[in-house]
Amino acid sequence: MSEKRPRQASSAQGKSSEKPKPTRAEKVARNREALLRAGADVVGDLGYEEASIARIADKAGLGHGTFYKHFESRQAFFDELLPSIGQELLDEVRAQTKGARDILEMEETGFRGFFDFLTRNPGYYRVVNEAEVAAPAAFDRHIGNLARHYLRALKRSRSNDEIRNYEERELEVIVYVLMAARFYIYLRFSKKGKNARPVPEWVVKAYMKFVAGGLKGLE
């Protein structure tokens, strides 16, 4: 009897340490996320035209039939792909900018967070640029989501008197100027073949010098 008790306790401990099996809803969510992540990789590498359902499912490690449990067609998948990636980007930028003391700190940490995201997701801009033709509804939704997020931040800063000499309607112009600046900075200082590298520190400083002059220097 004295030998059996330790073995029983060990068995109980093993059972208690086992991870609970995922629920059906969790499996469904994981599979959908895996397909979208795989789609981002395939489109980022090969483009929309070569991104077949078979390639996406294979990349995700799922059966082709699983694809149709989540998306009714290849086009329906493309219409969800870019907004999904864009939400990941927004979540990262929010995390980076949380607690920023003012508009300039927010802009610098957001800028750095954006390029951190690019280094891990080098196919991002290919997914964005080709979407204008391959998935125009997704393209419009994505750009709108980014712009609205940015605009809310600038409006808060204007209300806090951090941004001066701009009418509220002019802030949307600033949003698109800064969004475009990131794209061209990526092309010149970050893009390397199919990869993206961190921008040099002096580029970050030059960008922030421009932003500070534009947003706070016009007294």
Residues β-bridged to residue 195: 192
Q: Which fold has domain 24-71?
A: Arc Repressor Mutant, subunit A (1.10.10)
3-state SS track over 94-148: HHHHCCCCCHHHHHHHHHHHHHHHHHHCCCHHHHHHHHHHHCHHHHHHHHHHHHH
Domain ranges of the chain: 24-71, 74-214
Position 10 scores a pLDDT of 47
Predicted pLDDT of residue 12: 47
Any residues with CB less than 8 A from the CB of 3 and at least 6 apart, and which? none
Alpha-carbon distance of 191 to 109, in angstroms, equals 20
Looking at CATH, the fold of the domain delimited by 74-214 is given as Tetracycline Repressor; domain 2 (1.10.357)
**pLDDT in the model for residue 1:** 38
CA 42 from centre of chain:
16
* pTM (two decimals): 0.84
pLDDT in single tens digits along all 219 residues of the chain: 344 444 444 444 545 556 677 787 778 889 999 999 999 999 999 999 999 999 999 999 999 899 999 999 999 999 999 999 999 999 999 999 999 999 999 999 999 999 999 999 999 999 999 999 999 999 999 999 999 999 999 999 999 999 888 999 999 999 999 999 999 999 999 999 999 999 999 999 999 999 998 876 544
